[in-house]
Amino acid sequence: MHFVVILIESIIIGGLVGFAAGIGAARMFNAPTVQALGAFRTLGEMNAAQGDPASHFSFGLGFFFNAWASTVGAGAFTQDVTHRVIPNWSAAILLIKNKNLAETMHNPKKMGIMSALIGVVVVTFLNVTSSSIPASLQVTAVKVLVPAATVLINMVMPIIFWLAAIDAGRRSGLFGTVFGGMAALIMGNAVPGVVLGILIGKGVEEIGWTRITRIMLAAVILLFVLSAFFRSFDIQLLKEFGMRAPQWLQSWHNAIGG
């Protein structure tokens, strides 16, 4: 029963995700005329394979093994399934029959349909095989992957993004540092703050303080305020500065359940 449920759900999920990933990727080759869904790395890598079916296939295969290991270990597909495996494999299959890029890899209709099929196969395979593996493998994966992942997400990622923000210019460095520190305090991870810092810093650098950048800054500040409130950061802050939270603030928290 368990197995059948996973099988059926995987087919549905794979079809949906594959279909959207294929259309999104093909539309990238027509951006910015057409709004696309994908990633710059996918665009660059698919161009790098130069329409050679074997290159597309083997590129996808390398990440497929990585995704398989990660799924077996921790139940996580990695983002590579949608970014690399599905688009590259469906491009490879389409290119076997027709070498014209505009009619195959850049065509959202053909990529969408082919990617839906690939998505069903890939997602089902990953889920079904990984839900039936020996326990000793899972323990190994957890022992190895979880500590590595924790360091990556809490230390490495924030530092890389932070240094990138600093190198990108004085404004993004300043906004990145302030928002990064605030995000680490409030949200528990600095990355979102640094990303928003880069966004605003570079935005101001490129177009100045226009209505768009002002609205963005206001929205970011609002995001921080709301996050702080819902994680009870305000109460904790007052407490650690040796002050008591005023009654009205406490009752607000009680009213919302935060």
Partner 1 sequence: MDQDIKDLEHAHSFWYADWSFPLIVGIMSAGVFAGTSMYYNYGVGAFNEVAIVAMLKAGMTGGSYGAAAAFGASFLFARILEGSLVGILDLGGSILTGVGIGIPAILLSMGIEAPVKNFPLALLTGLVIGLIIGAIIYAVRHFTLGQSKATFGADVMMGAGNDTGRFLGPLIILSAVTASIPIGIGATAGAAIFYAWKKPIAGGAIIGAMILGFFFPVKL
Which CB sits closer to partner 1, 96 or 149? 149
What tokens does 162 get? 């932070």
Shortest reach from residue 116's CB to partner 1, in Å:
10
**Separation CA 151–CA 139 (nearest Å):** 19
Nearest of 25, 13, 14, 16 to residue 121 by alpha carbon: 14
User: Residues for the chain: how many in total?
Assistant: 258
Contact assessment for residue 96 and residue 28, using Cβ atoms and an 8 Å cutoff: no
Which CB sits closer to partner 1, 38 or 53? 38
Shortest reach from residue 150's CB to partner 1, in Å:
7
Shortest reach from residue 131's CB to partner 1, in Å:
5
Shortest reach from residue 65's CB to partner 1, in Å:
5
Which CB sits closer to partner 1, 88 or 130? 130
Which CB sits closer to partner 1, 138 or 249? 138
Contact assessment for residue 189 and residue 156, using Cβ atoms and an 8 Å cutoff: no
To 10 degrees, the CA torsion angle through 161, 166, 167, 171? 120
**Separation CA 14–CA 119 (nearest Å):** 4
SS3 for 99?
Answer: coil
Shortest reach from residue 174's CB to partner 1, in Å:
13
Contact assessment for residue 116 and residue 22, using Cβ atoms and an 8 Å cutoff: yes
Which CB sits closer to partner 1, 34 or 96? 34
